[in-house]
Amino acid sequence: MGEKYKLIDGCMFKDMLSAGFRYLDARKNEVDALNIFPVPDGDTGINMSMTIGSADKYAQKVEGDSIADMAGAAATGSLFGARGNSGVILSQIMRGVAKGLENLDRANAEQIAQAFKSGVDAAYKAVMRPVEGTILTVSNELAKGALAQARSGDDDVVNILRAGYTRGQKALKRTPDLLPALKQAGVVDAGGFGFLLIIEGWIAALEKRVAPGGEVDHFSTPVSVASREQADSSVVAEGFVPGITEIVNLDFPYCTEFLVQGEKLDVDTIKAGLENVGDCLLVVGTPQVVKIHVHTDNPGSVLEYAIGFGSLHAVAIHNMLSQNEAASHNRKQENDTGAAESRGAGESRGVAEGKAGADTGTGHGILTANSLAETDDGLAFDSLDAGDLGAGDASNVDPANAQETGELKKYGMAAVAVGEGIAEIFMSLGVDQIVHGGQTMNPSAHDIVEAVRMIPAENVFVFPNNGNIIMAARQADELIDDQRIIVIPSRSIPQGIASVLEFSLNAEVEENEREMTEALGKVGSGEVTFAVRDWEADGMVIKNGQVLGLADEKIVSGGESVVEVTQKVLEAMGWREKSLVTIFYGEETKQEDIDALNKWLASEDGSVEIEVYEGKQPLYYFIIGVE
């Protein structure tokens, strides 16, 4: 402690992210215990931990010491890893922070403070009707405190973070005064508490109180949360359930959430048309994919409006009143049982002792597991994210109990993929489970069975995405009696993605199988890798170690240049006669090769739509799809 930091570079910021993740992760259960309204699923701490953990994971892979690059990677990671209300808002804060640090190799105290302000602005903008007394309030006050300290002339980053933290801590203690539901439950805001834990980790990293990978060393005076102990049972109102606010009426009882996929989607335009259909509206995304969440009394009208912009995916509708009624009933039974046990043992304790807002696990009113109306941060909305967009989204259903309890949805999907980026794309399109494997790591039938078992669905579509894995996938079907496996014989990643896009939740099994199988024939696939031995055929001579190009599983080119070989693969695939070219670049692909290929494609034919994604696949410089 005591060292002064006037400038923060990317390496320091990376350590701060890592420490922030560990500080929150170490106390996520405390954060979970603060959930309150309307349904206490107890996931705030976990959601925020997974979100900032994903940000940290992305940042750790960045080379160099540019804080702009590090913050940008963290923002991307937080978006892909965001879960729940607090996770989505946290991802928007990280996105704004990255925006504020753009083009900077190092940032001074005032720039860090301004970046916080940018992050808070982005978070407020993402929420249709911001609610004070939540993570928004705490983060906003923290940003104000940091900025005021910086503008006072203090150029020490640690000091401005501490000033912001102190102001945020005071704001956290005031959250029950701003949000009646918090005061009724006797807690402070969960999301705000979690956010301060992250910032505490950032400060600790700079003060050398926690080394990367080291033990967490919290402040000697930790964040103070309001007591969750209530009065003696004799003075507790009849029917009161600590930690849960029982709702008897909602103007907009249906939580409706889904994904819109299209071209040139405008978030603001879509949002404008939904402003009067209900409340708790959240619309975020990109020109290709937009996530929508709204509480409404007419889900059908929302879906009818949205379908005008593109195709709908991962549609989930649930009745929040039934969820709340079940949660309140179960919690009351738990507390009554606990009170009876205490009296029987001659003990005296408050009925609210223990975890407020714990996970009830009722499952009432749920169409998709992650569509639970999370109320982390005390906000009355929740949101989908890239990791949550499963077909029926069963990631929160206990796979060991799902089939015994009958909590089975109609459809699920599993895909074989290698490369973090490719896996994330499949998940964002509705795939429930990823079987990690590919050309050099063919999964076994047992591996596929294990993935299917993790999906609580009656019918599971499996996408092998490799000709060498189709047989194993079909063999897996013979190993399961109580679930139906439908193998879609995709031979490549582009085929698998095209096939998944044809899935319809409302179609019958046979119709889905037919449509998804037919989609395979509409996509051409190419790969660019390197030769592992000498090869000679059809007038081509390719030496061990040279770049190797394949079009629809046939070798068509070889040479020393990745770009030139890729160009020949595209020519062999007749890309100029197609409408769309999709390119996934690998973990070892050089940025200069990506840029050169993009430039060539744009100059050759501007009428063909080109999409480029970070696949992060090993061994293959590029994986290409044309359709």
Structure tokens belonging to residue 12: 């320091």
Backbone φ and ψ for 600, nearest 5 degrees, come out as -65, -45
Domain check: are 507 and 575 in the same one?
A: no
505, pLDDT greater than 90: no
Domain check: are 531 and 498 in the same one?
A: no
- On whether the CB atoms of residues 397 and 369 are closer than 8 A, the answer is yes
Residue 116 covered by a domain: yes
Domain-terminating residue out of 480, 501, 520: 520
Q: What is the pTM of this model?
A: 0.47
Banded pLDDT at 83 (limits 50, 70, 90): low
Query: What CATH number is given to the structural domain containing 179?
Result: 1.25.40.340
Query: What CATH number is given to the structural domain containing 435?
Result: 3.40.50.510
Residue type, 324: N
In the chain, the number of structural domains is 3
Domain check: are 14 and 156 in the same one?
A: yes
Domain check: are 74 and 210 in the same one?
A: yes
Helix boundaries (H) for 106-210: 109-126, 135-151, 157-178, 180-185, 190-206
Domain check: are 66 and 206 in the same one?
A: yes
% pLDDT > 90, the chain = 40
Long-range CB pairs of 173-176 (<8 Å, 24+ gap) are 173/224, 173/226, 174/133, 174/137, 175/133, 175/134, 175/137, 175/138, 175/378, 176/133, 176/226
- Provide CB contacts within 8 A for 88, sequence distance 6+: 82, 126, 282, 284, 383, 385
Can you give the residue range of the structural domain that contains 480?
406-520
Banded pLDDT at 292 (limits 50, 70, 90): confident
Domain check: are 530 and 504 in the same one?
A: no
189, pLDDT greater than 70: yes
Domain-terminating residue out of 193, 219, 245: 219
Q: What's the CA gap between 389 and 258, in Å, rounded?
A: 8
Domain-terminating residue out of 485, 520, 555: 520
Residue 444 covered by a domain: yes
Q: Looking at residues 422-444, what average pLDDT do you find?
A: 81
Greater confidence (273 vs 213) lies with 273
pLDDT one-digit tens code per residue, 86-100 = 777 888 899 899 999
Domain check: are 56 and 204 in the same one?
A: yes
Distances 313 to 114, 261, 277, 365, 389 between C-alpha atoms, Å: 37, 8, 20, 20, 8
Domain check: are 581 and 490 in the same one?
A: no
Distances 237 to 39, 351, 509 between C-alpha atoms, Å: 20, 11, 52
What is the spatial order of strands in the sheet that 524-530 belongs to?
Answer: 554-559, 547-551, 524-530, 622-626, 580-585, 609-614
Q: Looking at residues 76-94, what average pLDDT do you find?
A: 75
Q: Return the DSSP state at 251.
A: S
Per-residue confidence (pLDDT) for residue 360, from 0 to 100:
25
Greater confidence (159 vs 343) lies with 159
Residue 339 covered by a domain: no
Residue 294 covered by a domain: no
Query: What CATH number is given to the structural domain containing 547?
Result: 3.30.1180
- On whether the CB atoms of residues 53 and 45 are closer than 8 A, the answer is no
Banded pLDDT at 351 (limits 50, 70, 90): very low
Domain check: are 498 and 536 in the same one?
A: no
